[in-house]
Amino acid sequence: MKKLFILLFSFLTITAHAASSEGGEFRPGDMITHHIADDYSWHFADGVVLYLPVVLIDNGQFVSFSSSNFYDENHNLVPYRGYKMEHGHIYKVNEAGEPIEGYKGLYDISITKNVASMFVSVALLFFVFFSIAGSYKKNAGKAPRGMQSFFEPIIIFIRDEIAKANIGPKYERYMPYLLTIFFFIWFNNLLGLMPGGANLTGNIAVTLVLAAMTLLITVFSGNKSYWGHIFATPGVPKWLAPIMIPVELIGIFTKPFSLMVRLFANITAGHIIILSLFSLIFIFQSIAVGPLSVAFATFMNFLELFVALLQAYIFTLLSAMYFGGAVEEHDHVDDMGHGDAH
């Protein structure tokens, strides 16, 4: 395990170095943005590049080719089959090689670095949890073993402390979703910390989808008292309804919005801090800064390992709380208006 971490940090340093050596002058902002943003190829280390497939839907037609076609032998960007990559995006170009402004109908569903990383995480999730499910079948009714005994307390924690505690008796329906988002986020957070890993959970598109799922599940499982609270908040005078209803409706969306931003910001910030610490070496252009940078970055990496778990937990916990709010039976609805009488 220790060796793995050492390997991890050494790789991280190498990639940082690789980014800096590309241009003449070192620009930490560009390097960091490049590392955090999505890409059409996967740089594991300097010279070790995996060109990922580009998949485009151009007016209903599928176009697919390797992203290596966008580079010539001198690593300069060139147009290919009427498309060109600029600033990490693919544009339709005219004969002169200029991007066509306002071109509609081009959808980019390329297997980017983030998508590829997600596939890796999914393969890992499948491997881990299918084998765990298998061992539950194999030694049914017996004490857990190996990987099973590592994940079982986590699964039980999610069930007892997150689902049961926040949702109540109907928790069982939400368990698959809660377990899936928890392990999806956690695994991807950890993979993002790996050397050359993609910043998947620090990408707003990913957190947007996850938050939208929570929103949809919350809205569709909302019972009478949930909607009652939104459209006729108990204890609020009727004439306040024109203010209260929009506020409550906005509240439906702000909750998942906060989920989206929280996960995105936490993971991205962690990556930025670690990359910034490494950038210091190149900004000062001194090897003496190295040990200090590495020490801080090591500390940050450990913190990030914790944050990886914490953010997965928070996302799952808050989702469970929103579900709980949607399915809760408000028996006390009637007294809420007379709360001060008690």
Partner 1 sequence: MELVTPGFGLIFWQLVTFLIVLFLLTKFAWKPIMNALRERETSIEHALSAAEKAKLEMQGLKAENEKLLAEARMERDKILKEASDAGNAIVESAKNKANEEGARMIAQAREAIENEKRAALAEVKNLAAALSVDIAERILRKELSDPQAQQALAQDYIREVTLN
Q: Is 39 helix (H, G, I), strand (E, B) or coil?
A: coil
Are 148 and 230 in contact, with CB atoms under 8 Å apart? no
DSSP state of 98: P
Scored b (16 or more CB within 10 A) or e, 172-201 reads eebbebbbebbbbbbbbbbbbbebbbbbbb
Are 82 and 76 in contact, with CB atoms under 8 Å apart? no
Name the minimum Å distance from CB 237 to partner 1: 39
Name the minimum Å distance from CB 204 to partner 1: 5
Give the residue with the Cβ less far from partner 1, 36 or 327: 36
Q: Site for partner 1 (CB under 8 A): which residue of 19, 85, 93, 179?
A: 179
Q: Does 47 bind partner 1 (CB under 8 A)?
A: no
Name the minimum Å distance from CB 262 to partner 1: 13
Strands 83-86 and 89-92: antiparallel
Q: Does 204 bind partner 1 (CB under 8 A)?
A: yes
Cα separation, 181 vs 196, in Å, equals 23
Name the minimum Å distance from CB 294 to partner 1: 26
Rg of the chain over Cα atoms, rounded to whole angstroms, equals 25
Q: Does 36 bind partner 1 (CB under 8 A)?
A: yes
Q: Does 209 bind partner 1 (CB under 8 A)?
A: yes
Count of residues that bind partner 1 according to CB under 8 A: 49
Q: Does 122 bind partner 1 (CB under 8 A)?
A: yes
Q: Does 165 bind partner 1 (CB under 8 A)?
A: no
- At 221, which amino acid appears? S
Cα separation, 188 vs 112, in Å, equals 15
How far is C-alpha 168 from the chain's CA centre?
28
Q: Does 259 bind partner 1 (CB under 8 A)?
A: no
Give the residue with the Cβ less far from partner 1, 203 or 279: 203
Cα separation, 261 vs 318, in Å, equals 13
Give the residue with the Cβ less far from partner 1, 191 or 281: 191
Q: Does 112 bind partner 1 (CB under 8 A)?
A: yes
Q: Does 152 bind partner 1 (CB under 8 A)?
A: yes
Cα separation, 339 vs 342, in Å, equals 6
Bridge partners, 91 (sequence order)? 84
Q: Does 284 bind partner 1 (CB under 8 A)?
A: no
Q: Does 51 bind partner 1 (CB under 8 A)?
A: no
Q: Which parts of this chain interact with partner 1 (CB under 8 A)?
A: 33, 36-38, 55, 87-88, 107-112, 114-115, 118-119, 122, 125-126, 129-130, 132-133, 136-137, 140-141, 152, 155-156, 159, 172, 175-177, 179-180, 184, 203-206, 208-210, 213, 264, 268
